[in-house]
Structure 1
């Protein structure tokens, strides 16, 4: 069993619904959906290009998947997570935009937003005592030779390279898209998520995701509202 601390909009939020339909699975309910069909992008190709984010569920990584340390239990983790959420104020990202990060697409902030960076760092630090050390195989899977010096340091210290000053909030909408298909994918996603871009995103909760066995779909164990979140 692995756990992860992710941002997800609430279960009934329109963005959760739209992203779940696009990815083909709802991480709250486990419900699956047929791949959408476009003239320029067939259902089979869309299904293949969304395979990775479909398994992980719609989210933004805050603290990456980890096994529990031997000294703690799930009950311990949930008690701290609930207390953390109650003591952490909800806030907004001023603008959400569609971004292309290398060869994949994601919803990202329109610009660096320091409260978001601070929130992510606080989550990483607060839940570090619950994380079992990475195995050598897990370390190798991160290809440390391809990371920057700071990312390698973070991988060793926090179990994930993209934290602290290397953190970049993103809610993934595709896997690796071939360069020849990038413009088609961008056009489809621009239209499909137009209702959610160019406007603020409320960071209103913290989600505890679980992966029951390695390679299994991630599911939302609990969605915890932050203090002051609008219901």
Structure 2
């Protein structure tokens, strides 16, 4: 969706001064996935390889799943989530989040658009 992609890129570029710079360990971890030349450029510029033209909207719904869970999760998504996701949605605010030492994210502040 072009509108979501534009919003994501605007947030990445305009709020870049607020992000923590990646540690060497994080850069190594990201690079171990086998980044393309473009993804490496984005990693160095923005601290994350999947922004701008490499961005794909996604929602992380679970931790890692073993093969036994995949069919169950797929059924739940098809029955309950996908139909609702096909309806148009309005983005009304943005959340600033922090990441704890254990990797969990927490909401710092939710800011409505237009305020």
Normalised by the length of structure 2, the TM-score is: 0.84
Question: Contact conserved, 1:144 with 1:152, CA < 8 A, in 2?
Answer: no
Larger strand percent: 1
Q: Structure 1 residues 127 and 172, CA, compared in 2 at 3 Å: closer, same or farther? A: same
Question: Contact conserved, 1:208 with 1:222, CA < 8 A, in 2?
Answer: yes
Look at both structures and tell me which one has the larger radius of gyration over its CA atoms.
Answer: 1
Alpha-carbon distance between aligned partners in 1 of 2:46 and 2:32, rounded to the nearest angstrom = 14
The correspondence for 1:121, drawn from 5, 9, 12, is 9
Instruction: Describe the SS at the equivalent of 1:222.
Output: strand
Give the Å deviation of 1:158.
Answer: 0.5
Cα-Cα RMSD = 2.2
Between 1 and 2, higher relative CO (CA 8 Å, sep ≥ 6) is seen in: 1
Q: Which runs of 5+ in 1 are unaligned?
A: 1-112
Matched, 1:203 2:82: no
Instruction: Describe the SS at the equivalent of 1:200.
Output: coil
Matched, 1:153 2:8: no
| Residues 186-223 of structure 1: per-residue CA shift (max 9 Å, x gap) | 00222232562221121111101123x41153221111
Matched, 1:140 2:44: no
Query: How many correspondences in the alignment?
Result: 115
Hey, what does 1:218 align to over in structure 2? 105
Larger helix percent: 2
Alpha-carbon distance between aligned partners in 2 of 1:216 and 1:134, rounded to the nearest angstrom = 14
The correspondence for 1:176, drawn from 64, 79, 82, is 64
Alpha-carbon distance between aligned partners in 2 of 1:132 and 1:198, rounded to the nearest angstrom = 34
Question: Contact conserved, 1:117 with 1:164, CA < 8 A, in 2?
Answer: yes
Q: Structure 1 residues 159 and 194, CA, compared in 2 at 3 Å: closer, same or farther? A: closer
Normalised by the length of structure 1, the TM-score is: 0.45
Question: Contact conserved, 1:209 with 1:221, CA < 8 A, in 2?
Answer: yes
The correspondence for 1:190, drawn from 74, 78, 87, is 78
Q: Structure 1 residues 154 and 144, CA, compared in 2 at 3 Å: closer, same or farther? A: farther
Alpha-carbon distance between aligned partners in 1 of 2:110 and 2:54, rounded to the nearest angstrom = 26
